[in-house]
Structure 1
Amino acid sequence: MVKLTKVLEDVVFTSNTDSKGFDDIEIVDIAYSSLKCQEGYMFVALKGETVDGHKYVFDAYSRGARVFVLQDDIEMADDAIKIIVEDSRIALSKISANYFGNPSKSLKIIGVTGTKGKTTITNYISEVLNRAGINTGVVGTNGTFYNNISETTVNTTPESYELHRIFRKMLDSGVECVSMEVSSGGLQRHRVEHVDFDVAIFTNLSPDHIGPKEHPTFQNYLECKAKLFTLAKHGIINIDDEHAQEIIDIATCDIETFGIKKQADIRATNIEYSKNLDSLGVKFVCETKNTAGNYYICSPGMFSIYNALAVIAVCKYLGVKKEITREALTEAKVCGRVEVLSVLPYATIIIDYAHNGVSLENILKTLEHYDHKRLICLFGSVGGRTKIRRKELGDVASRECDLSILTSDNPDFEDPLEIIDDIAKSFDKAKSKYIVEPDRKKAVQLAVRMAREGDMIVLAGKGHETYQLIKGVKVPFSEREIVKEEARKILESRKDEIMIAN
């Protein structure tokens, strides 16, 4: 339990109760869902896109809460302590940090933001730093990981209370550093307002998450991303991105740059592509002001080099030996990010999280550098999101692929066939062909069966996910296991055919 005075430290508020008595009140815990409230809890009423937490204040009261953080003053029972603030989300951020003892101040926090690359970079950073003897945890799209402990997260950047709770658990478990994804939504909703960032990384920026329930404009999206660089001590920025200077102009921290095309503090040159059975890789020389070194990563393409450069920049800033960074990057892999499944000896099957036009184009264009015959892409588009994304995905696939298999991808409450119809419009005047199979399991099985000698097949959109979101329910779905099982059947049948022929 924490005294109310301590929880409200540095929070600007008014109250219906004299604050002199707050030192005698102890807070058992904090909740922003009334269902979690118990006696002694503080309830924070958040205003969301579709739900207003103020509607649940009386439910929280009935469950035992007596301290309420409110954005709107409402009539309550006399024994209810009302803490009125200007923005309850910002208040939750500071209150949570205080409640858990401001753990981010005792950790090295590395935040990664941008449209693409966040998950890969945060996981690469963790792999390298752990190998260097710096106990590092990860927070992001794939969940929370530290000391062989994992926890699923609802959002890429968890709500501020969850975030500081996780930091506290990490710190108490001996974690020294946290590598975390910082989404534009997390910044927009003040989830990281009171996180003490040591380093901020900017990967790239392209139109995404623009819509009624996300960002109203691209400029708003950009400004939300840039906000991270007003919260950090040191910024590391991809100078090749067309929006890099806009981020730098907003930043209040010192800046270091990385890139390939432009002059940068850390730059990649002499790029070579390589391929083997279980990975598509790339070699490059990393140049800094005074040094140059050879690097290899078992992930393909230019975007993989940008990811590696960001990691190299962080490790350099933290004083990690170059040899350790180089060795760790050679072996670093991330589940569902350009993940090669070595299940068929005659074709390459790749699982990737690419779920918007830019990400899909990146991976498909990257594969042009590796020998193949047909390029086949299986993908869909998420229901309940902007239809622009569907057109962008369709435009890219119809232009870059020999064949596309259009299927479902977390359709939620939308009809998968209607989503597919939106995508299919891009193929009207394209030479590229497509097949429709709304059942994603059947579509994946079909893709594996269709594979011929030298083909490359990209299963895009699901990546690390192990579910399909259908009508509000997360239905278990492992694309990886479906591929392995179908490949096993194919190889078994071929073995039987050979035996019969002999």
Structure 2
Amino acid sequence: MAKLNELLSFIDVLESWNDRDLDVQGLAYNSRNVEQGDVFVCIKGFKTDGHRYVAEAIKNGASAIVVEDYQSDWEDLPQYKVKDSRRALAALSDAFYNHPSNAMKTIGITATNGKTSTSFMTNAILEEHGLKTGLIGTVVVKFGDYSEPTKLTTPESLDLHHYFAQMRDQDVSHVTMEVSSSALDLSRVGSVDFDIVTLNNISREHIDLHGSFEEYFNCKASLIRNAGEDKWAILNLDDSYSASLIDETKANVLTFSVETGDGDLVCKDLDLSTGRAKFTVEIRKPFSVEGTTYEPQEFSIELATPGYHSVYNSMVAIAAGLLNEVPIPTIQAGLKGFGGVERRFEMVFEDDIKILDDHFANYGNINVTLSTLQQMEYSNLKLVYAIRGSRGITVNRENAKAIVEWAPKLGLTEVIATVSHSHVDEKDRVTDEELRVFQEMMEEAGIHVDLYKELDDAIHHALSEAEKDDVVLLAGCQGMDAGAKIALEQLNKTRPEMDEEKLFKPLKNRVAGIL
């Protein structure tokens, strides 16, 4: 519980009506979640407007409302007008829970590709050091014994600060979280006290949401630009957009590279011959973090996760580990023992055929996935692609373009595509325009498309044709979340002699498509 006037001191109130100090029991942005004595914050969303639900909020017990537009039908109700109710919700939430992120070391990770893997890698290093950690991201929110699958890359600000409060109350000391461009744009991470921030890479994604690539980049870059003098920013010199932010932040900057050979941390002697990277990290320049000073030196790294992209992700995680004063041998052990993240180039079946599961989100991610696949030895590739729904024609055209560009290199003449009708909700439904763009790109390239309404049928097609030494790639975002489970269930029926426990082992700790 908190006093209303105390909470209001953390936001800029433009105008108020019926102002009086109240005991605030809680906050809500969804009228259905309002309880007696709560303050209801009216948020304007893409599909609806919280101002339309004031009556329901009051019926459920709201004692005051925060608005962008005055609500004339409630003359006795305390109302507080703000310029941006989303920003206000973040500040009120942080204050209501008594600034919980201040009590922990908080790491914010943004990128177009690799946010999830980088977050999990970083968390693995921190856990290896024996720290009590929290993790917030696309796949799951977890801390202590609590674990919950997530619906948004970054939760709404009220939910986020509530998670932080729960973590603080359970003595969590370090939190790693993914930060999406939409979360930055919509103030979902408002009032979060980030200690370490990073922008690893950026490519075209969510352009239709942000209006332009420039706006998308500015949203991502705000995480770095807004970092304070006592914070750290980790920047990738191989990515021109990340590198451009070196002089645009007040934070201390730690740079790295894999290709250019520049920066404070440099990846050397990279060996990807087995698909799993071995390399040397050179600390080029001395730097100090609180009580620890790192002198120029070299140390070796072995990754258990496959792919070139894992090298970049691990460089961020290594930098984060050093900035958290984790000993180098612990960083080495944490990465060597980290088995990867579900649906990130994940091997879910490896016998006479291989089944790989990858979220195939955008042009850059598809390029990295298919370049890694090119290094593998196999006979034929069966690509089952879940078309990306409700992300606009730009992303879908570029995804199709990536497939077209790699098709001749991989001997791909056919794509098994699906709109995954029964496995997506409305926010991920494939539109007619998105389907049309994909089909046109494939037709122009001379690639045959077998299109299925249902994911189950598409996977059955691939498995029924797969022969010895073939690779079946289950590719796609939300529409493919259930793909691995479906594929293994189909194998279980067609190969009843297989050990069922061994077959389903890859799904044991999975969240996507299971819960």
The answer to whether TM tops 0.5 is: yes
Structure 2 stretches lacking a partner, 5+ long? 285-295, 500-515
Q: Which position in structure 2 is the counterpart of 1:265?
A: 264
Which is worse superposed, 286-295 or 137-146? 286-295
Which is worse superposed, 112-121 or 365-374? 365-374
Structure 1 stretches lacking a partner, 5+ long? 469-476, 496-502
Q: Secondary structure, in 3 states, of the residue corresponding to 1:392?
A: helix
Would you say the 8 A contact 1:139–1:181 is kept in 2?
yes
Q: How does 1:4-15 map to 2 (within 5 A)?
A: 4-15=4-15
Q: Which position in structure 2 is the counterpart of 1:244?
A: 242
Aligned with 2:172 (options 165, 170, 175): 175
Q: CA RMSD in A?
A: 2.3
Distance 1:348 1:68, change over 3 A: same
Instruction: Supply the AA of the counterpart residue of 2:9.
Output: E
Please give the alpha-carbon distance, in whole angstroms, between the structure 2 residues aligned to 1:375 and 1:282.
23
Please give the alpha-carbon distance, in whole angstroms, between the structure 1 residues aligned to 2:312 and 2:112.
13
Please give the alpha-carbon distance, in whole angstroms, between the structure 1 residues aligned to 2:94 and 2:236.
30
Q: Secondary structure, in 3 states, of the residue corresponding to 1:96?
A: helix
Which is worse superposed, 374-383 or 351-360? 374-383
Q: Secondary structure, in 3 states, of the residue corresponding to 1:354?
A: coil
Does residue 34 in structure 1 map to residue 40 in structure 2?
Answer: no
Would you say the 8 A contact 1:398–1:431 is kept in 2?
no
Aligned with 1:95 (options 86, 92, 95): 92
Please give the alpha-carbon distance, in whole angstroms, between the structure 1 residues aligned to 2:280 and 2:375.
18
TM-score, normalised relative to structure 1? 0.89
1:357 CA displacement? 2.1
Distance 1:281 1:431, change over 3 A: farther
Which is worse superposed, 167-176 or 350-359? 350-359
Please give the alpha-carbon distance, in whole angstroms, between the structure 1 residues aligned to 2:102 and 2:83.
25
Does residue 448 in structure 1 map to residue 463 in structure 2?
Answer: yes
Q: Which runs of 4+ in 1 moved over 6 A?
A: 415-418
Q: Which position in structure 1 is the counterpart of 2:162?
A: 165
Aligned with 2:218 (options 219, 223, 235): 223
1:96 CA displacement? 0.3
Which is worse superposed, 193-202 or 385-394? 385-394
Deviations 1:67-96 (A, max 9, x none): 111111222434311111121111111100
Does residue 335 in structure 1 map to residue 342 in structure 2?
Answer: yes
Q: How does 1:327-476 map to 2 (within 5 A)?
A: 327-332=333-338, 333-341=340-348, 343-401=349-407, 402=412, 403-409=414-420, 412=425, 419-430=434-445, 432-462=447-477
Please give the alpha-carbon distance, in whole angstroms, between the structure 2 residues aligned to 1:243 and 1:415.
31
Would you say the 8 A contact 1:380–1:420 is kept in 2?
no
1:351 CA displacement? 0.5
Q: Which position in structure 1 is the counterpart of 2:292?
A: none
Q: Secondary structure, in 3 states, of the residue corresponding to 1:391?
A: helix
Please give the alpha-carbon distance, in whole angstroms, between the structure 1 residues aligned to 2:474 and 2:301.
28
Which is worse superposed, 395-404 or 181-190? 395-404
Q: Secondary structure, in 3 states, of the residue corresponding to 1:178?
A: strand
Would you say the 8 A contact 1:115–1:205 is kept in 2?
yes
TM-score, normalised relative to structure 2? 0.87
Does residue 2 in structure 1 map to residue 9 in structure 2?
Answer: no
Q: Secondary structure, in 3 states, of the residue corresponding to 1:175?
A: coil
Q: How many residues align?
A: 474
Q: Which position in structure 2 is the counterpart of 1:118?
A: 115
Q: How does 1:144-223 map to 2 (within 5 A)?
A: 144-211=141-208, 214-223=209-218
Would you say the 8 A contact 1:406–1:420 is kept in 2?
no
Instruction: Supply the AA of the counterpart residue of 2:126.
Output: L
Q: How does 1:127-146 map to 2 (within 5 A)?
A: 127-146=124-143
Would you say the 8 A contact 2:268–2:281 is kept in 1?
yes
Would you say the 8 A contact 1:268–1:285 is kept in 2?
yes
